[in-house]
Amino acid sequence: MAAVSNPETARFLNEYLADLSVLYQKLRSFHWNVEGPAFFTLHAKTEEYYDEVAEEIDDVAERILMIGSRPVSTLKEYLERASLKEAPAKVYRAEEIVGHLVDDFSTLVEALHRGIAVAEKEGDPGTVDLLTGSLQRYEKELWMLKAFSA
């Protein structure tokens, strides 16, 4: 494989990939373990989220390959790089799930702003475009989650 054309962007993307991988499993846990009056709403919504995150994981990993690097791919690597924390298997109520998602999506929004700046600095418009699309999605979902819990 050729030298990485955008090393800082590749580093950021691997950190972001790690966060997405932790988020994916966390969403699965919420999907399996939600209980209470909002069960039907959050059971369906967390499934929608983890399906979207699974697609995003693939897009980010492929982008890492496109810029000449290798995506991290082990649970150990994800946990070492991720800023998001895992969610243990237990009963989750709506307020707790929404609180976790507001925190996690806020963390991702902050990270995406940094990642966009890094990709712009390294002259990588493809990555800027990918990350901007993710930023817009997470900002919208964050707004909706806050409205749900208001």
Per-residue pLDDT at 104: 98
**pLDDT-flagged residues of the chain (< 70):** 1-4
pLDDT of residue 135: 98
pLDDT given for residue 3 in this prediction: 61
Both tokens assigned to 109:
């929004």
Question: What is the Cα–Cα distance from 62 to 96, expressed in whole angstroms?
Answer: 33
Domains in the chain: ranges and CATH: 7-149 (1.20.1260.10)
What φ, ψ does residue 92 adopt, rounded to 5°?
Answer: -120, 135
CA-based nearest residue to 9, from 117, 107, 83, 118: 118
